Homo-oligomer: A and B are copies of this chain.
C-alpha cells in the first residue's frame, strides 16, 4: 500500500470470489471490494449475479474461456491507476482467475511492490456450497478434479481419477460435462466403478443458491443418466457415505469410536476421546514393527505400496510406549 512517486495513482486488482452468487453469501469484504472498484470484469453470468451493485461502474463482460483476456483487461486498467474487481463465482483461487492474473502480471514484469496492488478475496467454492445443500458429505478427506481437457491432457485427469477412486476420497467433479464434451463423465464413472460400490451415493447439484437450483441424488452406476451440464457439480461419496432422509452424510472417521446415542458421550472400549485411535499411527507402527510378516504381505494387508512399508520398517519409532496424544479435533 505504499504510495507511488509517479503521477499515476496506484492501481489495484481485486480478485473477488462471489461464493454461490446470491448476495446472502457474499462476504463483507467481497461486497466492499465491488463497491470500491471503478471497473468490474467477469464472465457475463457472474456480472449478472451482482448487477445491482454495479451502478456507475465500467463493466467488462467476457465470454467463457477468455480468462487471459479478462486478466489482460484488468492489467491494462490497473496500470492506469484504476481499481479493478475481477469477479468469479465460488472462490477466485479455485480453477479461478487468480492463476491467469498472476501469469499475465508476471509476464508484464509486475512485482508485488510495483505500481499495482493485488488482493485476493476468498469465498466458498462450489464444493462447499453444494455440500451445504445436500447434507454433510465433506466430513472426511475430499478432492476436486476438473474434467475439462481444454488445458489438461486426459492421462493426467485419468491418473487422478484412478488414484482418488482407489484411495476412497469424497470427490467433487468440476466442469463435468459441456455441450460436446460428454464422454469425460462416462470415463470418470467407469474408473470409479473399478474401485467403488455401484451403489455409492452421488449428489448432482446445479446452480446452487440461484433461482434455477436443482439437486438430484443418484448412485455411481446411474451417474451418467443424470442431468449434468456446465453449471453442475458432481459429488461422489466415499465408501462410508450414505443417504438418509434426503441428506448425504459422510461419517467423521472410519472407526466408529463413539456409540452415537444421545446421553452416551463415551468412547468405545479400548478407545479414548481426544487420543489417537488404537489403529492410529503409533498403534500401527507398533503392529508393523512387531509383525513377523514380510513387507510384501504387509503391503497387501494394508493396501499400501511395498516401498512405503519398507521405509516405515527402516524408521522405527523412538518410543512406542509414548503413544498418547493431546486433545484436538
Contact = CB atoms under 8 A, between A and B. Distances in A.
Contacts of A312: 187
A143 interface: yes
Contacts of A112: 245-247
A304 B169 CA distance: 18
A20 B149 CA distance: 33
Interface in A160-181: 160, 162-164, 166-169, 175, 178-181
Contact of A102 (B145, B247, B315): B247
A169 B122 CA distance: 20
Nearest to A327: B65
Interface of A: 17, 19-20, 23-29, 31-32, 43, 63-69, 72, 75, 91-96, 98-104, 106-108, 111-112, 120-125, 128-129, 131-133, 135-146, 148-160, 162-164, 166-169, 175, 178-181, 183-184, 187, 190-191, 194, 230, 244-247, 249-255, 257-258, 260-263, 265, 273-277, 279-285, 302-305, 307-308, 311-312, 315, 317, 322, 324-329
Given A92-B132, A150-B329, A158-B308, 6 more contacts: A28-B31, A65-B274, A98-B136, A121-B132, A123-B124, A155-B304
